[in-house]
Each structure stands twice: as C-alpha cells, then as structure tokens.
Amino acid sequence: MHIALFPNTAKKHSKNIAINIREYLTAQGVSIITQDEVAEEIGAIPLSSINPEMVDFIISLGGDGTILRQMHRHPNLMAPIVGINLGSLGFMADIPVTEIYPGLQDILNGNFQIQERIMMQGQSMHNETCFAVNEIVVHRAQNPGLIDIGVHVNGLYLNTFSADGLILSTPSGSTAYSLAAGGPILTPDLNAFVLTPICPHTISNRPIVLASNQDIQVQYLSEYAPVEIIFDGFTRFTMATGEVLRVSLSPRVFRLVSLRNHDYFSTLRTKLGWAGKLKA
C-alpha cells in the first residue's frame, strides 16, 4: 500500500505528528510518500519520484484548508483523502488528533467508506479553467463599491446582483464561505449548487439552490476595474467588464474517507456548537 502524507508545515506540531504516522504505517508495511521539500525531514519518499496513480490514500494533516491546498497543488492525485484535524474547525478533516491511530488501523483493516462528492468547474472567455471542491467566488477585488453581476441559468436570465460579489458553492462548501454569507447547509450527498450573493444591496436577494447539472453563466456588468475569480481560496484569475464565467459540474469527484464511527450530522453539531438535545 502507498499512502501520501501531507502535513501543514505552518503548524509547528504537524511535522512531528507526520513523522510518528510515518513510523507507525511503515512498521505495517506501508510506503509513505510526501511533498519533495519535506520528504527527507519526515523520512518519506519524494512525491516527484513516483507515479501518482500508485497512491492508494492521501492523509492530510491540518484542517479543511490543508485539504484544499493539497487538491490544488497536486491535481493529478486522485486517491481518496483522510482528513486529520489539527485545528478547531473542520468539516472535511473530521478525525481528531486523539483518534489518529485507531483511525489509521481502521483504514488498514478496511473499516471505512469512501464518500464521492460533486465538484464544480469554471471557465473564462480566455479558456482559463479550474475546479473547486468548495466554491468559486466572484469578488469585487480592488473596486471600492458594489459591482453588478448578471446571472443566467441554462440560458435563462435569473437576476442581476448588486453586491460585493457572488459565491457559487458545492454541498461541501455550503458550510464554508457560503454559510458565513447567509447560505443554507446542504448535505454532502446532494447534487446541487448554492448561489449566495455577498452583502447584496437589495435585501430580497437571497441564496438560491440550483441543480448541479445546470450551466450557470456569470457576467461582470459594471464598468469598473476587473473583478477576481477565486477557486477554493487558492487559484484565481481576473474578469473584465462584459466577460462571462461559465460554471458547471466537474467531471472529477472529491473522494473523502469516512470512518464508520463518524457521521456528518455529528460533525455538524460539534463544529457549529449546536446544543439541542433529545427530550424524553
């Protein structure tokens, strides 16, 4: 078995945990691979020296941001991801530090499920393309005021939003930026996107849920400076006045390992601090 191990090098204890995980898994006959710049320090095989198709699992040490960073930095790695949470808030990285080794043993024993979640992709008029696990954001960037954004769905006019921007989110991303902007929570098994305006001028401009098989066209209408198109907070390009961004379902899926003693609703209650209790 080959496992790629990606620590968040910004977290001081992440490398030490990575070394301990490498020792634990190596003792059980697993080959550990990591990014080239930390391979020697961790004692793992450099990623550049192997065929990405050889990787059976990816272990991400950090939080949801670490998972997204790894996805965009190594888009050729298609293996399912195991998210170990070293921070406080993580919906995808839901394995706490205290459960690392029981969790790893469950994976070695085959006691897990793999969730396949939808992703989205965006394409500019200049044929710039990128995928998103969480969201694609159209943001006003350096413009000091609101911008006008026209939206068509399958060629039909939806609305023109005067706002700071627009968030187009997958179900995975519905608990991220979209939620902070007032969007709904979608369970990760849904085939749907959420369109959430950011600080809209008109209070009746509310988030809307769209089927994921629809083609969404987002046009920048204001005659101001270019706006930014941001994918998961990591990849970005600009869009000038009159240009259109096309957003659609990605052919790629996001594969996340789910251990049998974890469930989405439990994670949701814990991370959002819900205090509701069943009453007899």
Range of the domain at 210: 118-250
- Reply yes or no on whether the pLDDT at 106 is more than 90: yes
Binding-site annotation: residue ranges for NAD(+): 64-65, 69, 134-135, 164
The better pLDDT of the pair 118, 259 is held by 118
- Specify the pLDDT at position 280: 64
Residue 207 C-alpha from the chain's centroid: 20
Specify the CATH number for the domain of residue 238: 2.60.200.30
Same structural domain, 21 and 42: yes
- Specify the pLDDT at position 93: 85
Residue 164 · residue 198 · CB < 8 Å: yes
Same structural domain, 127 and 206: yes
Q: Is 148 a catalytic residue?
A: no
Residues 90-98 have a mean pLDDT of 85
Specify the CATH number for the domain of residue 10: 3.40.50.10330
Q: How confident is the model at residue 279 (pLDDT cuts 50, 70, 90)?
A: confident
Residues 53-64 have a mean pLDDT of 94
- Reply yes or no on whether the pLDDT at 15 is more than 70: yes
pTM: 0.92
Same structural domain, 122 and 216: yes
- Reply yes or no on whether the pLDDT at 164 is more than 90: yes
Q: pLDDT (tens digit, 9 = 90+) per residue, 109-119? A: 999 999 999 99
Q: Is residue 278 part of a domain?
A: no
Which position among 56, 64, 106, 189 bears the catalytic label?
64
Q: Is residue 275 part of a domain?
A: no
Q: Is residue 10 part of a domain?
A: yes
Same structural domain, 161 and 263: no
69: left (phi over 0), alpha (psi -120 to 50) or beta: alpha
- Specify the pLDDT at position 64: 92
Same structural domain, 75 and 183: no
Domain count of the chain?
A: 2
